[in-house]
Structure 1
């Protein structure tokens, strides 16, 4: 199936919804799939759809690179959003986001972040089968995105370009190439963006992401909260010299500038594509499909054990697995904890309001002892519950406000249990 040309787009976020609606020359927008509800779409998205602006749902929690098969409920949810938005395609990431569980006889862990898949034959086999499962469950074509990473897996057998080529060739999946992530991996892992572009099948590209970040102590952080640097625009021009991308999109997730600044960044992206000057390539044609053997449980277990060991060292303080860079793993662990604190503060803004300056150190202390196991909303509840159980705010107005906040959001059984403990402690 040949995908439609998307043009120039921007990531739709509630904070900039009005600016996006007024922005000239925006052909399409991308929304975070998990942040949209098919039956209750924001009015801004409805108006954009009525104007003929294409809306593409972009998933962040499927974990196609994980050892387990994709969750059927998450696939159904992604399909429902594609249908509700009348989208021509949906996108996800080449990453794993959770590990552990029955397959590895270990506790289930959530990263709350996109982590790199090992570029090994086992990792590729599992990813390809998971992508095929997702393709069969979705009503529109799927495109998958390369991710940014702070660390490299030991013993990798392929470059990023080779890995992406084999993935697309074996499954027919489209690619969402993030040029900012290529830049991140150049700084953090010494990988050449030009080599990656020369290796991958550029005709399979569905669209391109462009985003900003910052460098600190020799590490590039893909923040999506800073201006797009010239180095990222140079990679975009290189890509556009090889193939005319069907779509290019500016991503910005926080620290939003004035609308005029967003418009200047979109204009710079257009100029970078124009400087590449490539004409459209032919439609992507993967190799003739052959029946793929089912990935064995042994293969999935090997991948699962490796991913669990890596994730456990990042979020649960277990030893760093052999072959990983310990310094970089430490940087990644701190980044994951900081992201947890930021996201919890965003989805539960009452917590930093109640706790004041003590919110962040209290949360980071909690995160060192309590890996995330059930998503950010549950994380917020468990953090508040841990403070109440510890009695750190006992007797003060903050304690009463936090207890009321927790009780209003918890189920009946935990509420009674916690209240009983609090009353006993007060007695």
Structure 2
């Protein structure tokens, strides 16, 4: 990574947790166990009644906003009002980068209502490059994009997801948020080798990772954010830490919260230890 690369200026953040109000008190009491927090941007948009809560979080922790509604792959221009609200949250947190999903959430006149995978074509890539550049210019910081789960491959793609990511980061200097659980889930549901997938990805552009636990439903592995991280995901992370100097890890847990929040903090600590060992190897 060259010195002028905007990703090179991103500091090491450590291991953290997705901020969820259901465990707010436990998070407040665990400043020694959580290196940084990830907030869902949309929860702090709009009215100013959440400003105090956001300010309190930022006083205690380094905070990275993570959006779910940008629709970075949309062919239509991005919503200017939405982008201004994103910028406000980004500025208030002082985050070194902003993260979102490589996905569609809107098409003209329709809110899809979920994170839909992109069609990996030349026109889609051109639109995504245009949108990433606009967001980064507005925010004045790198955009870091996450791989999503998908129920089926969109047919007639002109390139693989890994090639799409590679060409996108080359054109924009954006980064990657690798959701290790999403990669595992996709590899199980669509029968491919996740290690081979990583070999094709521009892993040097991975800034942060996500970890979570899912569940089985009708023979499909679902990204539920509701269970402990699966052993296979830890194994995949162990491989990844030998490839790239990760800046941070976030454990996502949105449902089925354990009675003892320490179960979550133990997973945060495990990720921290693995990333620290990997950084020592990669930097040696």
Fold equivalence (TM over 0.5): yes
Equivalence map 1:158-177=2 (5 Å): 158-177=159-178
Secondary structure of 2:164's aligned partner? helix
Shift of 1:274: 4.9
- Which position in structure 2 is the counterpart of 1:36? 44
Length-normalised TM-score, structure 2: 0.89
CA RMSD, 1 decimal: 2.0
Alignment-derived partner of residue 3 in structure 2: none
Shift of 1:159: 2.3
Consecutive unaligned residues of structure 1, counting only runs of 5 or more, are 102-107, 282-427
Which structure features the higher share of helix residues? 1
Q: Secondary structure at the match of 1:88?
A: coil
Does the CA-based 8 Å contact 2:142-2:173 persist in structure 1?
A: no
Identify which of 99, 104, 115 aligns with 1:96.
104
Q: Which residue of 2 aligns with 1:69?
A: 77
What displacement does 1:40 show? 3.7
Structural mapping, 1:345-384, within 5 Å: none
Q: Which has the higher strand share?
A: 2
The verdict on how the C-alpha distance between 1:278 and 1:181 changes in structure 2, with shifts beyond 3 A counting, is farther
Range 9-18 or range 31-40, more displaced: 31-40
Q: Which residue number corresponds to residue 348 of structure 1?
A: none
Once the 2 structures are TM-superposed, how far is the Cα of residue 225 of structure 1 from its aligned partner? Answer: 1.3
From 40, 57, 66, the counterpart of 1:58: 66
1:217 CA drift (Å):
2.9
TM-score normalised to the size of structure 1? Answer: 0.61
SS at match of 1:151: coil
Residue 21 (structure 1) aligned with residue 28 (structure 2): yes
Other structure's SS at 2:105 match: strand
Matches within 5 A, 1:178-193: 178-193=179-194
In the TM superposition, what is the alpha-carbon distance from 1:280 to its structure 2 partner? 4.8
Secondary structure at 1:242 match in 2: coil
Q: How far did 1:42 drift?
A: 6.2
Q: Report deviation, 1:45.
A: 4.3
1:109 aligns with 2:110: yes
Q: Distance in 1 between matches of 2:142 and 2:264?
A: 29
- Counterpart of 1:217 in structure 2 is 218
Q: Where in structure 2 are there 5+ consecutive unaligned residues? A: 1-5
2:10 alignment partner, SS class = coil
Contact 1:233 / 1:272 at 8 angstroms: preserved in 2? no
| Match of residue 126 from structure 1 | 127
Aligned length in residues: 274
Cα drift, residue 136 of structure 1: 1.5
Distance apart, 1:43 and its partner CA: 5.2
Q: Give the ranges of 4+ consecutive aligned residues of structure 1 lying more than 6 Å apart after TM superposition.
A: none
> What's 1:261 paired with?
263
Deviation at 1:200, TM superposition (A): 1.8
Asked if 1 retains the 8 angstrom alpha-carbon contact of 2:175 and 2:206, the reply is yes
> Does the 8 A contact of 2:44 with 2:54 survive in 1?
no
TM-aligned CA deviation for residue 194 of structure 1: 1.1
- Check conservation: 1:182, 1:193, Cα contact below 8 A: yes
